[in-house]
């Protein structure tokens, strides 16, 4: 029997996925919740074979929860079920600890097959997604990790279309300080202009996850 804990913040999504899994004879829903603290408590008390994280779209909460699962329940496969997930978001989620990212567009049979795979002790996740995450980290993450936390914030705001004065007001610093950070952003990302840097960030770094990624990197750097 494959034990699954379903975590879905959206009530409709939670009910829909639970209904799909309810009648599968070799799956047991060990818990269904939308609360992350409850999910952590259940997972710590009795780690399931699979933790199914059904999210409308990737966000910082996922990037925080996945490393926790990796640390506290390494025998549990964390599976992320999302409506849309671009290459950068997928790479960050897999790098953070997701065994696989699944699409809400797939049929129920494919989801059930993956949950069954997750229960096998020799299963190491989706190899194609793992390779993608490694490639993204090598090509994008390596450059992104060169930036300090404040430089990432500046790059984030630049990618949103903010000018120097607006970035300065948002961060509560002087425009000259922003100019200083921007010069480092351009050098570290190997970009010739601010426009190129903004486009690079928007293309390669999923903005919904950017802040959590910055915190995760800072945490690793600080031991």
Give pLDDT tens digits for 46-75.
999 999 999 988 888 888 899 999 999 999
| Average pLDDT of the chain to the nearest whole number | 87
Q: Is the pLDDT confidence value at 219 over 70? A: no
**pLDDT per position as a tens digit, 150-174:** 999 999 899 989 999 999 999 999 9
In this prediction the pTM is 0.73
Is residue 211 over pLDDT 70? no
Where are the domain boundaries for CATH 3.40.50.2300 in the chain?
Answer: 2-139
**Residue that wins the pLDDT comparison between 92 and 50:** 50
Q: Higher model confidence: residue 183 or residue 135?
A: 183
Is residue 77's pLDDT more than 90? yes
pLDDT band at 89; cut points 50, 70, 90:
confident
Mean pLDDT, rounded, for 212-220: 46
CATH class, domain 2-139, is alpha beta
Enumerate the CATH 1.10.10.10 domain ranges in the chain, comma separated.
145-221
Match domain 145-221 to its CATH number in 1.10.10.10, 3.40.50.720, 1.10.357.10, 3.40.50.300.
1.10.10.10
Return contacts of 209-213, CB within 8 angstroms, 24+ apart.
209/58, 209/59, 209/60, 209/62, 209/63, 209/88, 209/89, 209/92, 209/93, 210/152, 210/156, 211/60, 211/156, 212/59, 212/60, 212/61, 212/63, 212/64, 213/63, 213/92, 213/144
The better pLDDT of the pair 104, 80 is held by 80
Q: Which single residue is written with the structure tokens 């989706």?
A: 126
């Amino acid at each position: 029997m494959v034990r699954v804990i379903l975590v879905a913040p959206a009530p409709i999504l939670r009910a829909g996925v639970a209904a799909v899994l309810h009648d599968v004879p070799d799956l047991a829903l060990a818990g269904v919740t939308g609360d992350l603290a409850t999910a952590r408590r259940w997972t710590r008390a009795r780690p399931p074979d699979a933790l199914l994280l059904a999210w409308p779209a990737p966000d910082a909460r996922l990037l925080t929860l996945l490393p926790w699962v990796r640390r506290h329940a390494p025998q549990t496969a964390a599976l992320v079920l999302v409506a849309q997930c671009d290459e950068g978001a997928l790479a960050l989620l897999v790098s953070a600890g997701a065994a696989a990212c699944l699409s809400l567009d797939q049929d129920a049979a494919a989801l059930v097959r993956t949950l069954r795979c997750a229960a096998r002790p020799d299963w190491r996740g989706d190899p194609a997604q793992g390779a993608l995450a490694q490639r993204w980290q090598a090509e994008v993450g390596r450059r992104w990790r060169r930036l300090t936390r404040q430089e990432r914030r500046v790059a984030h705001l630049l990618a949103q279309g903010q000018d120097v004065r607006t970035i300065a007001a948002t961060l509560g610093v002087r425009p000259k300080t922003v100019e200083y950070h921007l010069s480092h952003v351009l050098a570290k990302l190997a970009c010739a202009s601010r426009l190129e840097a903004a486009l690079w960030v928007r293309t390669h770094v999923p903005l919904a996850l950017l802040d959590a990624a910055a915190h995760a990197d800072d945490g690793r750097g600080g031991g």
